[in-house]
Amino acid sequence: MPRLKMHSSPEAERKIAARFIELRQLRDMSQSQFAKAIGLTRAQLSNIERAKSPLRYVNAIPALRANGESDSNSPIPYPFNPLWLFGSVDWPIQLDWPMLLPHPESIGLSLPLRFSQFVAEQLPLLQIFASETPEHARLPESWLTPYASHHHAWHRRRDRALTADSLLIDIIAPSAYNIAHASPVARRVLQGIKQCTLGMAIIDHLTGKRIDHDELPPARLTKQERTEIEEVCNPNHPGVPEMYRLQERLQRATAPKGVKQQLAIYLTATPATIDDWLSGRGPDGETTLRLLRWLEHQEAEQERALSNTMLTHTAILGTLAPVKSQLDNLLDSFDDLIKRPGSKTDLANFLAVPLASVSRWLSGKREPGRTVTLKMLRWVEKQQRQQKQSAGSVEAPPAPKTQS
């Protein structure tokens, strides 16, 4: 079916031009530098900034840093919000997960396509991408292969914190599963995800209520693809998100009869909700911390072998019920830790998120998600250990000499 040609209004192009200048300034680049980075001449870029020429989608991708590649000015390749550049929203300016905008030819689009036309055609998807729940996005078939390759490339960056890795799987797996019976491309992507520990929990959740995912029609993988999948999807790989490890521990701890019901009472949740969390649909940050505290207490009790019986609800409440929320307690612990110059930037790099996101979380304007919450907890514990080690390494001053 031929694509309908949409005429962008001059006003829309003027808004894009104004934001395009802002974007270049945010990236701290001159016109010459920015033009070279996005595949234009300085004259072509100048025409876009003056709204004399439209911004093309193919040039908007590297401008937004949405091609999955980093540059010398930014070690973390988080993209800018395409809806902000379009001028339809003022926030967020930058996203906090590694969104990919595929190359136009890889998804069946023409190279001259205007950025304004791309946004108009993909508006519902881009709105979910820019929301607080981007994992609800469902990719078109043509986007599956670029996103699967993007996930593998992101996961293999050993020098980066992989906070958003599970979010990419959260998007790719359901998108592929929904059309797998009719799409060889989707089946090929699913075959790769099935071999990956990061994707198995989500696929099990999707298929457990419908069909066995082993019944999906096979899709052959090349030797190179299989090697890459085995490398990045090893369950012992350092990039496997802690949330998956936590789910495995919780599944073991709640296996005895009655424990799951008592945990539900403690968290004021239903057993069905607990089942959803254990199958991959994780809770919010506050509940994640309470689950972790409960789990640590359970495991400590088991290690001490005081009893083979289940921990009672009263005992849990007596030990774990917080005066303040667990998340508030965690955020309070940052007060002293971020006083050192550069510490907030260190935290942003550890979490692999923009500095603005860290500021919003610490100020209480937004709550971090479950995976980020766990990583924030680990950062605090690491900093506190280092402080104790530094304090222990300081030698006591020598005692004053006494005259004989």
Query: By three-state DSSP, how is residue 38 classified?
Result: coil
Q: pLDDT tens across 56-94, in order?
A: 999 999 999 988 775 544 444 689 999 999 999 998 898
Structure confidence at residue 50 (pLDDT): 96
Predicted structure pTM score: 0.57
- With 60 as the cut, is the pLDDT of residue 216 above it? no
The tens digit of pLDDT for each residue in 226-239 reads 454 444 444 444 44
State yes or no: pLDDT of 112 exceeds 80: yes
- Find the mean pLDDT for residues 367-373: 74
The alpha carbon dihedral of 109, 111, 113, 116 has a sign of: positive
Mean pLDDT of 99-107: 91
Mean pLDDT of 146-164: 63
pLDDT of residue 373: 79
Give residues with Cβ within 8 angstroms of 151, minimum separation 6: 165, 168, 169, 172
Residues of the chain with pLDDT > 90: what percent? 24
**pLDDT tens digits along 276-322:** 776 655 677 777 788 888 888 777 776 665 444 444 444 444 454 44
Instruction: Please tell me the total number of residues recorded for the chain in this structure.
Output: 404
Is 205 a residue whose pLDDT tops 60? no
CA 292 to chain centre: 20
The domains of the chain are located at: 6-137, 139-236, 241-321, 325-386
What number is the average pLDDT over the span 257-283?
Answer: 77
Q: How confident is the model at residue 267 (pLDDT cuts 50, 70, 90)?
A: confident
**Looking at the predicted structure, is the pLDDT value of residue 30 above 80?**
yes
Q: Token match 């592929």: residue?
A: 176
**Contact (Cβ atoms closer than 8 angstroms) between residue 100 and residue 150:** yes
- Does position 11 have pLDDT exceeding 70, yes or no? yes
Sequential DSSP letters for 279-316: TT----HHHHHHHHHHHHHHHHHHHHTS-SSPPPHHHH
Higher pLDDT, 204 or 210: 204
Query: What's residue 173's pLDDT?
Result: 85
Q: Could you tell me which CATH class the domain 6-137 is placed in?
A: mainly alpha
What integer is the mean pLDDT of 242-254?
70
